[in-house]
Structure formats: C-alpha cells, structure tokens
Amino acid sequence: MITLDWVYVFAGLTFAAFSVLTAFDRDHPRRFGTAAFWGLLALSFLFGPWLGDLGNGMLVLALAALAGLRLLGQGRPATTTPAERAASAERRGAWLFVPALVIPVVAILGVLVLEKVSLSGVPLFGPEQPTIIALGLAVALALIGAMIWLRPPLLAPLQEGRRLMDSVGWAGILPQALAALGAVFVIAGVGDRIGDLFSSYLPLDTRLLAVVAYCGGMALFTFIMGNAFAAFPVMTAAVGLPLVVIQFGGNPAIVCAIGMLSGFCGTLTTPMAANFNVVPAALLDLPDRDAPFNGVIRVQAPTAAALLAINTMLMYVLAFRF
C-alpha cells in the first residue's frame, strides 16, 4: 500500500539531498545557511511526527530566523552546459514536454482509477489524501522516465532542483506555512470572530448576500494572507458552513469547491502571494517586478475580478439545486 508517509519520505529525502549538495558547494555564496534551511525542512518531513509540537515549533522558528537574517543564497551548480541543453532541445523539440505532461496525466489516473485498485485485497493507495499520493507517484514516474530517456548526469535532477529552490528561496514553502497558519487561526477561533463581525454589521438574511459574503470574503482574506489555503478554513468556519450550508441548505461539496476557487481570485491580485506573483516575475526578469503591484498582478487583476463574479454566480445557481 502506498501511503501518504511515502510522499513525506520522498520529499524529505529530496530536501536532504539539496542540503548535503549545498553544504559541499564551495562556490555557493551562503552555503551553510542555505544548507541548514533545506536540512531543517527535510527534518520536518522525515521526523515531524516524532519531534512533537514543541520540536516542530522550534524548527519553524529556526527556518524563519534563517530566512529573516538573509542567510539564504543562490547556488549555480554545474550540470549540463548551455550548449548541451540547446542541442538536446533542438534534437527533441516539443517532445521535451512529455515528462512534464506525465505528471498531471498520472495524477488524474491515480485519483480516478488507481485509488480504487486493490492487490490481493489490499488497496493500492492509503485512505488519506489519495490526490497527494497520486501526485507524488506521478512525479516519481516522470522523473524515472526522464532519466531513462534523456540520460543526464546522475545528480542533474537534484542539482537543478536545488538551483531552482535556491532561486525561489523561502517563498518555496510559503503555501505550506500559510496553510498551517490557517489551521492555527481556526483553532484560535478567528473564524468565529469573523462570523460575529459579519452577522453584526451585514444583513446576511438571504442566500445571495450569504454567497456574496463568502466568495468575497474568501478573495479578500486570501489577498491579506497571500494563500487561499490559509483563508479557506477561516472563512468556511465563519460564513461558508454556518450560513451558506447549514442555514440556507447549500451543497457542501459545491460550496467548498467554488469557495476555494474564489479565494484563488485573491491570489491573483496580491503581492503577499510571493511564490505566484513576485518570484516568477523575478526569475523571468519581467519589467516592473519590484513594484508592490507589479506588472504580473496588474495584468491578472481584471481576470480575477471577472472570475470572482462568475464564481459567485455559479455558487448561487448551483449550490442550492444539487
């Protein structure tokens, strides 16, 4: 049985390899701080359940200190030369996209087909988070296939992986951190307080107003937090479940799915979503990348507004009919 623990081990070993390779990279400008950062992240994936709440909390503080003190740097490991990469691209053309396309294809097949497969009465996938398990399996298969087909140097995937992660830096773990922060907010009762504010100052006595408040609140809270995964538990506990689902009888699956999509509209418009809007602009050397609302965000804002309106309409039309 392939369980979620396998995915954690796979990710942990990958970050551990980044840490070791960085520590031995004498040309890295800040190799020890960067190696410590990826090493601590590997420790959290590999041994998190055994560290306990206090140990994991100290680990997070150490990660924040390394990033806050600017002890992370960008390495430039040597793998293949630019001439070799250009020759490979010219020789294989658009077929180079096949390994990347394998990942979504296998992930979808995993969720739709492999999740239901059993071997000798034992399910192939564990019961927890089959989507993430399928995604981890897809990445592993795509990596193996690419290595067999392209035959790069053995350490090329790890070297290129750490180069990319060094370019992204601490923002690479921002979704994970913000999702955890959302869970902390729920435990702290932030959702209940927001629900009290909505009920005190807004007349949410009709389905339409409740839907508008939930979708708009998801987008607004995501704009503030930078990630819909952090906003989702808070806004769903505050408005989605008590009003849209329980009071007005909305379908929970439809409400939650469209609510998350509404949150992503906020992601498109905020510099807080650094890993989506700031880091790619810097990596691609786009103009206006250093402005608080850079060119990427300005281009995405009209699309975000249109999608938010469409999501709100879809929730109002669909959530109470199915």
Closest alpha carbon to 232 in 288, 200, 191: 191
CA angle 242, 246, 249 (to 5 degrees): 135
Calculate the alpha carbon distances from 186 to 134, 245, 259, 288 in Å: 28, 18, 17, 36
Q: Average pLDDT, stretch 202-229?
A: 86
Residue range 108-149, pLDDT digits in tens: 888 888 778 777 777 778 777 788 888 889 999 999 999 999
The answer for residues whose C-beta is within 8 angstroms of residue 249's C-beta and 6 or more apart is: 320
Residue range 16-59, pLDDT digits in tens: 999 999 999 988 889 999 999 999 999 999 998 899 889 988 99
- Please report which confidence band the pLDDT of residue 270 belongs to, taking 50, 70 and 90 as the band edges: confident
Least-confidence region, from 54-68, 72-86, 180-194, 253-267:
180-194
Q: What is the mean pLDDT of the chain?
A: 85
Q: Average pLDDT, stretch 229-257?
A: 89
Least-confidence region, from 82-96, 249-263, 298-312:
82-96
List 118's β-bridge partners, or say none: 123
The pLDDT value given to residue 289 = 53
Give me the phi and psi of 123, to 5 degrees please. Answer: -60, 140
Q: What is the pTM of this model?
A: 0.74
Calculate the alpha carbon distances from 281 to 72, 80, 171, 239 in Å: 19, 25, 13, 34
- Please report which confidence band the pLDDT of residue 202 belongs to, taking 50, 70 and 90 as the band edges: low
